[in-house]
Structure 1
Amino acid sequence: MGTGRRAFLALLAMLFALQVFALLRAPAAWQPAAIAITLDGPGSVTLTAAQLGAVGAAGTRLVFSRGADGAWRLRADGPALPVLRRGGTEERLGTVDPSTLRSFAIGPRRYTVTPGVRGTLFFTDGAARWHFDGATVFRDGTAQAHCPGAPWPERGVALWNRVAPRALAIARPLLFGGNLHCGNRIGIDGVDGGAARLARQDQGLVLSASAGAVPVQGDDAGLRDDQRSLDGAQSLAVGRSRYELAVARGTLTLAPARRVALHAVPETTLPPGVAWEWRQRSLWRGGAAMWLLAGAAALAVFGAVQGREAVPRRGNILGPLADARRRRGRLPGLARRLRGPAAMLVLAAGCAALVLQRGGEPPSAACSLLLSAAALGMWFVPPGRLPAAAGAALLLVGAGLLCQLNLGLAGMDTGWLRYHGKTAALLAIGSGAVALWRLYPVAMSQRRIEWLLAGAAGAALLLLAAQVLWGDETGVFDMQPVEAAKLVLTLLTAHCLALRMGWRAGHRALPGHGARWLRLIAPALLFLALLGCALVQVDDYSPLILLLLWAGAMAFAYALAARRWLAAGLLGCVALAGIAGVTALRSGDPAHLPATFYGDRFQVWLEPERHPHTGQQVRDGAAAIAAGGWLGADGWLGLASLGNPGGAVMALPAVQDDFAPSFLLHRHGLLAALLLWCAQAAVVAGLAHAAARHCRTAAAAGGFRQAWLARLQAFALCGGAAFVAGHLLLSWGTNLAILPVMGQPMSFLSAGGSHLLFFLLPLLGIHAGSSQE
C-alpha cells in the first residue's frame, strides 16, 4: 500500500471517526411519544403548535372539542391548516369542494355555482360567467388574456393548456383578488390578490382561503371557521408533523409519527387535561433487523476488501497468518466469492433503510453511519485501482455525511436527521448497484448501446413530462427526474459526438451528408430542448445557466478533440466575456433593472440592505459566514460544536440544500472550506484528465469500435465534469454572494438525494469502470 493510499484511507477514516465523536457527545433530547387530551364531558381545549410539538406550524391553534354525544371535533386557526386522513382520503380544514355548494362568497363578491362535470366548475357573479377546468379560466366562453408582464414560460404553459387535451393539461390554480381579470386570476375590488384559490387535486377541485382577514364563505359557513368530526380519522397532519389518532372513552391520543419537536429537558407548559408521555431520543438503539442487515453488509465488504492485498506489509500483526492463508490460496478465493454477496447485501440494506424511512421508522443515526461506511467500502471491492477523481469524490461524500449528521444533531426536531439517513440509504443503493455493474459487466454491441441510450432518453422524457403534469419544482414521485435526465443527456450527446468524430474525411463528399448529420445530432437537440422547457418552468434561472455551462464545455471539448482551434478560441472568448459581464453587472446600478421577478433577484443581490425582507436570506447567510471566520464559530474548526444545537444558523432557508455551504463555513470555518475546495477541484480535474486520456486512446486506436468507445467515455466524462463544476460554481456563488441567489445543491455536500443517486454515483461508476478497462 503506497503512501498516498494510506493518507487517503486515513482521511476517510478520520471523517467517519468525527461522525462517531459527534454521536457520542450529542446532548440528550426528549420528544413526545404520545399526547393525551382528556375531557370527562362536553368541553374543549385549545392547543398551540408548540403544545403539540408540531414543526412548521407557528401561529396555528387547534381547538379539540367533545360533544354531549361523546364525539370529538377539530377546528383550527392560523397559517398551517391541519389535514385529516380518513378512509384513504385527505381532508384539509379550511377547504371545500365547490361542486357541493350552491354559492360561495369572497369578501363582498358572491358567486353562484352551476352544476357541471366533475373536475370543472361553472360559476357566475351576475356580470360574467366563469368556467375553470383546473388549468385555464374562461370568461363568457373565452380564455382570459395573459396578465401584463407575465414571463414567457407562464405564457407558454397557458397556450399549451388551451390546445392540449384535458388529461395532458398542466394544473394551474385560479386566484381570487386584485384589480385585474387576467390569466388565472379573477379580480375583486378591495380584496388583495390570493385571498382565495381554486386548485385541482386528486379528488377534484378544492376551494381554500388564505390566512388573511378577507372572509371566504361556502354557502353559510366560513372556510376559516371550518370544523370537522374526528370519527373514523386515522391521522392528523399539522405543518410538517403527523400524528396517529386513537380515541378511548374520554381520551383522545395523538401519537407522533413524523417529525416532531425536541426538548432539552422533559418539561413543557400544557393546559389542563393535556399530558405528554416523554421519550428520549435514541441515536444508537432501534431496528434490530436493520442493524443485522447493515452489520452483515459491512462484514462482507470488509472481508472482500481484505482479500485484495497481495502481500501483507511489515509490522502487520496478522501478516504471518495472512501469508499462510495466501500460500494455501484461501484468502483470495474467499474474497472473490464475497464480492458479489457484499454488493447485493449493501444494495439490499440501502433499500431496506429507505423503505423504513419512508414508513416513518427510520434506522438510528449510528446504523445509518455503519451503512454509509459499508457503502463507501464497496468502492474498494471491484478489481483495479480506484482513480484519483473517484477517491477525491469519496472524501467529499464523507465530508457531506459529516456535515449532514452535524446538521441533524444541531436541529431541534426529529426531522433534521432524516437527511443523513436518506443520504446513507441512497449511497448504499447506488454503490451496490455500481459495484454489481463493475463486477459482472455485460458485453454489448454498439447497436445495443444505442438502443439502451434511446430507451433511457425516452424514460427520462416521460419522467420529465410527469413532473410538468403532476409535480412541481421539488420533483415528482419523491424524486427529481432532472438529475437522471442530465446523465442521459450527457451520455446521448457523448454518443453523437463520438460517432461524428469517427466519420472519415471522404464522408463529406458522399450524398446525403447533411441529412446524416441532422439525424445524428437530432436526439441530443430534441432532448436538450425538452429538458430546457421542463426546467424553465421552475421559478429560477439556475437550470438554464447550468445547461449553458454544460453546452459550452461540450462544444469546447469537441473543438479541441477535432483540432478546430478557431472554434475553441471563440468559445474561450465567450467564456471570458461572460466572466467580464458578471463582474460588470456586480458594479452596476440596481435602479436601472426592470421591475420583474429576475430584476428583483438582481436588486437583492446588488443591494440587500435596501430589501430587508426579500434580501434577508442573503443577509443571514453572510452573517453566518462572517461568524464562522477562519476556524469556525467555536474557534476549533467545528470540533468543539460537533453534536451541539445549531442556533440561529438553522433558520437559514434550505440550509440542508442550497445553503449547506453557509452552514459549513459557519460551523467549520474558511480553512475547512479551502480543504473542501481542493477536493472538489481534484474531482473535476480528475474527470477532465481521464477524458483527455481516453481521447488520446481513441486517436491511437486501430479499429472503429475501440475508437468510438474511447471517445464515448471521453465525452461522457467531460460532460459529467461540466455539470459537477456548474453545480459547485452556482452553489458557491450563491452562498458567497458572487452570483444572485440560485437554487442548486452542492454536489456531495448538500442533501440532494436524487442528485447523488441518479447522477453522481453513476458518473463515478462510469469513471471507475473506464479506468479499470
Structure 2
Amino acid sequence: MRTGSVIGNRPLLAILAMLFALQVFALLRAPAAWLPAAITIGIDRPGAVTLSAGQLGAVGATGTRLVFSRSADGGWWLRTSGPARPLLRRDGIDERLGTVDASTLRTFTIGGRTFDVRPDTTGMLAFADGASRWRFDGATVFRDGTPQPPCPGASWPAQAVALWNRATPAVVAIARPLVFGGNLHCGNRIGIDGVDGGAAQVARHGGQLLLSAGAAASGTHLSARFSSHSSMEIPAPASLQDDARRLDGVQALTLGRTRYDLALVRGVLTLAPAGRVALNAFPETVLPPGVAWQWRQRSLWLGDAAAWLLAGAAALAVFAAARLGRAMAPRRGNILGPLADARRRRAASSWTGRPLRGAAAALVLAAGCTALLLQRGGEPPAAACSLLLAASALGIWLVHPARLAAGAGAALLLIAAGLLCQLNLGLAGPDTGWLRYHGKTAALLAIGSGAIALWRAFPPAVSQRRIEWLLAGAAGGALLLLAAQVLWGDETGVFDMQPVEAAKLVLTLLTAHCLALRMGWHADHRERPGHGARWLRLVAPALLFLALLGCALVQVDDYSPLILLLLWAGAMALAWALAARRWLAAGLLGCVALAGIAGVTALRSGDPAQLPASFYGDRFQVWLEPARHPHTGQQVLQGAAAIASGGWLGADGMLGLASLGHAGGDVMALPAVQDDFAPAFLLHRHGLLAALLLWCAQALLVAGLVRAAVSHGRAGAGAPGFRQAWLLRLQAFALCGGAAFVAGHLLLSWGTNLAILPVMGQPMSFLSAGGSHLLFFLLPLLGVHAGSSQE
C-alpha cells in the first residue's frame, strides 16, 4: 500500500485550505443586512391598507399589491391585484386567490361567453355553452363526447402524450391543463373570440379541478357563480381577478416565494416572514400608517444548535481520523526499516483505523441529513455551519489510508471552487434565499460523502450475481422515478429531485456490465450456436433503458439531454471498439465526431432567416442572432455583457477578491445565474484567468477518469480469471461512461455561456447549484473511481 493520503496529498490539502479560507474571508467581509422579523398591521374598522410586495419583504411578486381590510363586523379580508396570487392555508387546506374549486361552480364566464356547469359523478368537469358540451378529466378535453384533435403544429411528444391519455385510465394519465382563449377548439384548448390564449385554465391539483385566471387574463372579464352547496365565503357572482377571501382561521400566507405565519390578536394582524425574504442595507423603509416592521439582522454565524453540534462533532471526528492516518503512515528515515512501515500500513487498514473512519463518516452523514431537514423546514443552518459541514465532507475523502487518485483530487478541487462561487453568489443576492444553494450543496455533499466513506471503510462482499441483482433493482427504481416525473412532475423534477441524474448513472453501470460480459466471450463465439440470442439478452436491458430514458428526456423542451446521450453513446461505442481492437469501427466513430464539429461550425456561419419557425429553430436563431428575439436573446446578451465586463481579472480587477461577500449588481438579474449561467457569474466576478484554472481542473478530472478506465481495461485484458476480468472491465466501462457524461455537461455549459453552442439548459458539474446532479451522479461516480483505485 502507498503512503497515507493525508501525507501524500499535501499540495491538494493546501489548495483546499486556501479555497475554504476564501470562504471564511467572504463571510467576514459580508456587510450587515436587515430583514423584517414581523410585520404588524393595525386597521380601525371599517378600513383598509394597501401594501406592495416590497413593503411586505416578499420575493418574486413584483407588481403585486395586497389590500388588507376590516369589515363592519370586525372580520379581516384580503384582496390582491397584480401578477402573483397569494396562497392561504386554512385548516390544513391551501386556497389560492383567483382560483376556485370547479366542482362548486354553477356557471363561470370568460370574456363574453358563459358556461353552465353540469353535475357529474365521475370526477370530471362537465359544462356547456349552448353550442357544445364539454367534459374534462384533468388530462383530456372531450367535445360532444369525442376527444378534440391535436392543435396544428403540435409537436410529436405532445401528440404522443395525448394518445397516451386517451388509451390509459385516468390514474396513470399525464396531467395537462384545460386552457381557454384563442380562435381554435383543439387539443386541450377551448377557443373564445376576442380572448387571448391562456386567459383562464382548469387544472387538477390535489385531486381537485381548479379554475384560475391565467397569465393572459389582463383586460378579460372572468367571473364565477357558485352553487348553493358551496362553502366558499365569496360574493356571487365573483370576479377571479378581483378575488377576496376572509382571513379568519388562516394560519399562513404565501406571496411569491415568501411565506408568512399569520396571527390575529386584539385587532392587530401580525405576519412573520419565513423562507426567502428581501434584504435591506439599513433598518428603515417607507410604510403606510398603521403598518410597522420589527427588524432583525441577518446572521451568518449563529443558527440551529443541533446543526452546529453535529457539524462540530463531524469535524472533530474527521480530524481525529486524519491524525490517526498520519500516525500510522510510513515515515522516512525510520530506523526500524520496512518492518515498522508494514506494521503501520496494516494498522491503518485494519480494524484499528476503520472504527474511527466509520464513526467520522456516520457523523458526516448524520450532520448532512440534519442540515437538509432543517433547510426543508424553512430554518436552514447558518452559512458558517454549512461551511464547516462542507469542510468535513471533503476531509472525509482524505482520511483513507490509500492515496487519493488524481481524478478524485481534481473533483475535490472543483467542489471547493463551486462552494466558494455559490457562497459568493449567496452573499451577493438581494434576499435570504440565495444562500440556500450553498447550504443545500454542503448538506448533499455531506450525505453523499459520508455514505461513500462508510462503504469504503466497510466494503461489502461483491459477486457477479449480487451486482446483477443490484443493477436490476436500481434500473427498476430509476424507471419508476422517471415514470413518476412524466406523470406527476415537470421539467424541475418530481419529489424535489431529478430522476434523470440517477438514471444516467444506472444506465452507465448497466451498459458497462453488458459490455464487460460481452468482452469475456471466447474469440470464436460466432461459431457457437446460441451466442446471437445471448448477445441480444445482454444488450437488451441497456437499449430498453436508453429508449425509456430518451422518451422521458424528450418531454423537456430542450435538446441538451439528447446531445448528452449522443456523446455518451459515442464514447461507450468508442471504448468498446478500442477494447475489442475494432480499429475500423473506432475510425468511423472518430469521423462522425469530426463531422459533428464541422456541422456546428457550418451552422455558426448560417443564415438565421432560413431556419424554420419552430421551437428548435428559434433556439438556433437566438444563437446566431440574439437581437432578433428581444426576450430569449436578452439572456444571451446579458450573459455576454457580464462575461465581457469581467475581463481577465474580474470586474474588480483583483480576481474577485475585492468583491467577495459584497452585492452582485446587475449580474444577479441574469436568468438561471445559479444553474445554467453560473459560469457567466464566475467569469464576471473572478475573470478569465480564474476560468482557465477551472478549465485545467476540469480537464484533469476527465483525464483522470479516462486514465483509470484505460488502466482497468488493460488489467482486465491480462487478468487470469473470468471474474477478475469481468470486474475490471465493468469498472473500466463505467468510468469511461461517467467521464463522457461529465465531459458532455462541461461542454454544453461552457458552450452555452460562451455562445459556442445554442442555449441549452445544462448545469455545470460542481459549479452550478445542481443538487440532484451532485448527489445522484457525481458523488457515486467518484465513489466508483475511488473504490477502483483502492482495489
1:191 aligns with 2:199: no
Partner SS state of residue 412, structure 1: coil
Partner of 2:219: 213
Partner SS state of residue 218, structure 1: strand
Matches within 5 A, 1:423-438: 423-438=441-456
1:349 aligns with 2:367: yes
6, 10, 14: which is aligned to 1:6?
10
| Partner amino acid, structure 2, of 1:713 | Q
- Normalising by structure 2, report the TM-score: 0.95
245, 249, 258: which is aligned to 1:232?
249
1:632 aligns with 2:650: yes
Partner of 1:506: 524
Matches within 5 A, 1:287-686: 287-309=304-326, 310=328, 335-686=353-704
Partner SS state of residue 385, structure 1: coil
User: Residues of 1 paired with 2:594 and 2:743: CA distance?
Assistant: 16
1:57 aligns with 2:75: no
Partner SS state of residue 102, structure 1: strand
- Normalising by structure 1, report the TM-score: 0.97
The Cα shift of 1:314 comes to 9.4
Partner of 1:85: 89
120, 145, 148: which is aligned to 1:144?
148
Partner of 2:239: 222
1:267 aligns with 2:284: yes
Partner SS state of residue 269, structure 1: coil
Partner SS state of residue 47, structure 1: strand
Are the aligned partners of 1:351 and 1:429 in contact in 2 as well (CA < 8 Å)?
yes
Are the aligned partners of 1:658 and 1:731 in contact in 2 as well (CA < 8 Å)?
yes
The Cα shift of 1:210 comes to 2.2
User: Residues of 2 paired with 1:94 and 1:640: CA distance?
Assistant: 47
User: Residues of 2 paired with 1:53 and 1:395: CA distance?
Assistant: 37
Matches within 5 A, 1:244-255: 244-255=261-272
Are the aligned partners of 1:55 and 1:261 in contact in 2 as well (CA < 8 Å)?
yes
User: Residues of 1 paired with 2:553 and 2:565: CA distance?
Assistant: 10
User: Residues of 2 paired with 1:379 and 1:83: CA distance?
Assistant: 44
The Cα shift of 1:444 comes to 2.1
Partner of 2:755: 737
264, 270, 273: which is aligned to 1:256?
273
Partner SS state of residue 621, structure 1: helix
Partner of 1:711: 729
**Residues 291, 150 of structure 1: CA spacing in aligned structure 2 closer, same or farther, 3 A cutoff?**
same
1:156 aligns with 2:160: yes
The Cα shift of 1:88 comes to 1.6
Measured against aligned partners, the alpha-carbon deviations of 1:538-580 in whole angstroms (never above 9, x if no partner) come to 1111111111110111011111111001111111111110111
Measured against aligned partners, the alpha-carbon deviations of 1:446-495 in whole angstroms (never above 9, x if no partner) come to 11110110000000000011111111010111111110000000000000
Partner of 1:75: 79
User: Residues of 2 paired with 1:234 and 1:551: CA distance?
Assistant: 52
Partner of 1:318: none
Partner SS state of residue 417, structure 1: helix
User: Residues of 2 paired with 1:234 and 1:698: CA distance?
Assistant: 63
Are the aligned partners of 2:9 and 2:403 in contact in 1 as well (CA < 8 Å)?
no
| Partner amino acid, structure 2, of 1:481 | P
Partner SS state of residue 242, structure 1: strand
User: Residues of 2 paired with 1:718 and 1:334: CA distance?
Assistant: 35
Partner SS state of residue 415, structure 1: helix
The Cα shift of 1:603 comes to 0.7
| Partner amino acid, structure 1, of 2:38 | A
Structure 1 unaligned regions, length at least 5: 316-322
Are the aligned partners of 1:197 and 1:208 in contact in 2 as well (CA < 8 Å)?
yes
Partner of 2:228: none
Are the aligned partners of 2:429 and 2:664 in contact in 1 as well (CA < 8 Å)?
yes
| Partner amino acid, structure 1, of 2:599 | G
| Partner amino acid, structure 2, of 1:375 | A
Partner of 1:243: 260
Partner SS state of residue 493, structure 2: coil
41, 48, 55: which is aligned to 1:44?
48
User: Residues of 2 paired with 1:252 and 1:498: CA distance?
Assistant: 67
Are the aligned partners of 2:428 and 2:664 in contact in 1 as well (CA < 8 Å)?
yes
The Cα shift of 1:505 comes to 2.4
The Cα shift of 1:200 comes to 1.0
Moved more, 145-154 or 718-727: 145-154
| Partner amino acid, structure 2, of 1:688 | V
Identity of aligned residues (%): 79
User: Residues of 1 paired with 2:550 and 2:79: CA distance?
Assistant: 44
Are the aligned partners of 1:659 and 1:735 in contact in 2 as well (CA < 8 Å)?
yes
| Partner amino acid, structure 2, of 1:236 | L
The Cα shift of 1:312 comes to 8.7
Partner SS state of residue 641, structure 1: coil
1:728 aligns with 2:728: no
| Partner amino acid, structure 1, of 2:434 | W
Partner of 1:320: none
User: Residues of 2 paired with 1:101 and 1:333: CA distance?
Assistant: 70
The Cα shift of 1:145 comes to 1.0
Partner of 1:108: 112
The Cα shift of 1:334 comes to 6.3
Partner SS state of residue 225, structure 1: coil
Are the aligned partners of 1:118 and 1:204 in contact in 2 as well (CA < 8 Å)?
no
